[in-house]
Amino acid sequence: MRTVGTLLFPGFELLDVFGPLEMFGTLGDTYRLEMVAETVGPVASRQGPKAIADVAIEDASPYDILLIPGGQGTRREVENAHLIDCLACHARASSIVATVCTGAALLARTGLLDGCKATSNKAALAWVKQQGPYVDWQDRARWVVDGKYWTSSGVSAGMDMALGLIAALDGTAKADEVAVHAEYHWSRNPHDDSFAALYDRGNAGDDT
């Protein structure tokens, strides 16, 4: 069984967390889900509802998959040296590190994405690029894979990435089963980023 550790921080985006976890959680005999934050307990999302952190990040065991969501809270957390240091330790120890939306900014701050291809929400890409000037940011991509690093575009793209991960680890047929169970139209092509054209590349964005 693979353990998926999902980072929570104040202001995380709900779908960034629960969209991918719906996909992994459907395979409950294959994936164990754990929520992690700086401290144990409830953490408020950008939209208001709270999620419960099962374990403090300093006490967490290494994860098979480390999932880092985005959200308005990333604007504050990129300056949180303690969290970034803990993320760096877990990212090094994890077999796979996956980000959704502006969660890529947090991973970029660790320096571990330097020299790697990555993407993020195109509405906020200019700001995200500032957090990792040595990352090879992809302006048009639904999700990007570079070694063990998986990064996805905005919000719902995390579900497509999660299904892509399931396909890579467990086979495309299994990912198809999960998508059908969720009644979700899986965008299988990681290069099919129809939303990129909606945003100017210089737009820093404030919504994610």
Residues of the chain above pLDDT 90, percent = 92
Q: pLDDT tens-digit profile of 2-38?
A: 999 999 999 999 999 999 999 999 999 999 999 999 9
**Strand, helix or coil at 73?**
coil
Could you count the other beta carbons within 10 Å of the beta carbon of residue 119? Answer: 30
40-46: average pLDDT: 97
Domain that holds residue 100: 2-198
Coil, strand or helix at 113: coil
Helix H or strand E encompassing 165: helix 157-170
Q: What is residue 208's predicted lDDT score, i.e. its pLDDT?
A: 64
Which CATH number is 44's domain given? 3.40.50.880
% of the chain exceeding 70 in pLDDT = 96
**Quick one: pLDDT at residue 203?**
46
**Mean pLDDT of the region 188-207:** 73
pLDDT at 206: 52
pLDDT given for residue 25 in this prediction: 97
Please, which pLDDT band fits residue 195 given cuts at 50, 70 and 90?
A: confident
183 within domain boundaries:
yes
pLDDT in tens, 94-145: 999 999 999 999 999 999 999 999 999 999 999 999 999 999 999 999 999 9
Pick from 195, 190, 204: nearest CA to 150: 190
Structural domain includes residue 203: no
- pLDDT (0 to 100) of residue 196: 87
Residue 202 has pLDDT above 50, yes or no: no
Q: What is the pLDDT of residue 200?
A: 62
Assigned domain for 206 exists = no
* pLDDT over 90 (residue 204): no
Closest CA to 121 of 3, 8, 17, 16: 16
205 inside domain: no
Mean pLDDT (the chain) is: 95
The token duo for 42 is: 């409830």
pLDDT at 207: 55
Flag whether 204 is in a domain: no
- Would 96 be classed as within a structural domain? yes
Q: What's the domain count of the chain?
A: 1
Q: How far apart are CA 101 and CA 10, in angstroms?
A: 15
- Which amino acid is present at 206? D
